[in-house]
Amino acid sequence: MPDIVDIAVGAGSFQTLVTAVQVANLVDALKSPGPFTVFAPNDDAFAKLPPGTITTLVQNVPQLTRILMFHVVSGKFMKADLAKLGSVTSLEGSPIKIDCSDGFEVKNATVVAPDIEADNGVIHVIDTVILMG
């Protein structure tokens, strides 16, 4: 089974995320055994950010890394697991609110494709980049 990075690269709809992970030097971490739960913004999610945001983040690697780490949780949590928890703590250290009462939402993002299993965890595709705070 492919790992989280290989799935993101192969899907073709995560080009911005893959580039960001490469710039932030997180490829090896996300290829490690984990397991991880990744809330993966697709390219459309990144396109919603204000113009220039991605360029600014690529030039500010510590901030980019922090935002990317906010999208990753230690452990493998399927939608059913997350529904019972209501909140998880990201690798960045901040809590991420989970709401499965009407659909599947992670903070301010809607999960458009849940439970994509990888060799080292699970990916939930989200329609919005989530931010701390």
For the stretch 9-59, pLDDT in tens is 999 999 999 999 999 999 999 999 999 999 999 999 999 999 999 999 999
Q: For residue 133, name the pLDDT band (cuts at 50, 70, 90).
A: confident
What's the rounded mean pLDDT across residues 83-98?
Answer: 97
List, as own/partner pairs, every contact residues 95-101 make where C-beta atoms lie below 8 angstroms and the sequence separation is at least 24, other chains included: 96/39, 96/70, 96/130
Q: Judging by beta carbons within 10 Å of its beta carbon (0-12, 13-18, 19+), is residue 34 exposed, middle or buried?
A: buried
For the stretch 57-71, pLDDT in tens is 999 999 999 999 999
| Cβ contacts of 95 within 8 Å, gap of 6 or more | 87, 88, 89
The pLDDT mean for the chain works out to 96
Q: Which domains does the chain have, with CATH numbers?
A: 4-126 (2.30.180.10)
